[in-house]
Amino acid sequence: MDKPADKLEPVRAGVGDVFTLALGAVLMFINTLLFIYVVWNRNYPPLRAKNIKLIAILYLSMLIWYFGTIGTNFNLYSYFNLKSTCILFGLWFRILLGVFMFIHVHVFRLYIYIRIFIQLRRVDYRQYVIAVFLYVAMICSVGVPLSILRSKLTVRYITQLETCIYGTAFTEISFVIVWAGWATTLVFTFLARKINSSFKEHREMMLIVFLSSIAITYMTVVHHIVRAYTLHQWSRVTTTYAEYIASQSSLFILLSVPAYNCMFHHDEYRRKFFDKMRSDGMASRYSMTLPSADMGSQPQTV
């Protein structure tokens, strides 16, 4: 339980905080290198199958989420004289443009695969426009009201503590958004389980959902037990680790195998990818051109 507000004192950064920030920077740097490599080799079929445009948005959401996390949990706004931006870091960067965009991209990627490989329907620009419209509508319907409500109901900066304190309403709404997004991702992962092709990501998505469930459960418990969690090193550090697990692992889980094989087993992995697509009869549905069995011959459309 928290101490009474008048007995709380600001906590200065310790070794644990510095290590946590350094670890986050290293993980983000590794993900950035992976993302750059994937974009550079975006025409490699096993990587192109991951939908590089959506992967780019997923990376962007991870980056925004990362800055929202360290900005919120480690009071970076106080160091840079940004005391009026609690709502910017805590709501917009961390939740709406970070976590919610992250979830939205995962769900939309799964929806595309379900539409192509299970419903046997094509995907065009209209699906992307609808997805963007739904995302903007949802974050505005939540973000705008919370941004203009009284600070006592949402989030406010406490000068004597040099930190942002989050109201009960803000905390509950944030976790409703996160858990609803997690449940939606789980449902779409379940629906996509029958995709039997080179595009199947059921195991990868189940691992992402599993790690996210652990992280979200832990954060939910800590935020409800310790309301002023940023004032205690153990709670702000461990919740940051939980967010690292939920966000920073995702890109690596989805892209590490094709990226590794692109680097070390380029032709062999591509051949296996094409063979799998042929055997599943999936090439024509994804409008891909496959080479013939003789890798030295001209490509043929399947």
Is residue 230 in a domain?
yes
**Owning domain of residue 206:** 13-266
Is 209 among the domain residues? yes
Per-residue pLDDT of the chain (302 residues; tens, 9 = 90+): 455 444 555 556 678 888 999 999 999 999 999 999 999 999 999 999 899 999 999 999 999 999 999 888 876 655 555 555 778 888 899 999 999 999 999 999 999 989 988 888 888 899 999 999 999 999 999 888 888 876 666 777 777 777 777 888 888 888 998 999 999 999 999 999 888 767 778 889 999 999 999 999 999 999 888 878 888 889 989 999 999 999 999 999 999 999 999 999 999 999 998 888 777 766 555 555 444 434 333 343 33
pLDDT of residue 84: 59
The pLDDT value given to residue 170: 84
Evaluate whether residue 43 is within a structural domain. yes
Cα–Cα distance between 262 and 160 in angstroms, integer? 54
pTM of the model: 0.87
* CB-count exposure of residue 86 (10 Å: 0-12, 13-18, 19+): buried
In a domain? residue 177: yes
Residue 283 lies in a domain: no
Residue 34 lies in a domain: yes
> What pLDDT score was predicted for residue 299?
40
- Looking up residue 42, the CATH number of its domain turns out to be 1.20.1070.10
Domain count, the chain: 1
Residue 43 burial (CB count, 10 A): 8
Structural domain contains residue 58: yes
* Residue 292 within a domain: no
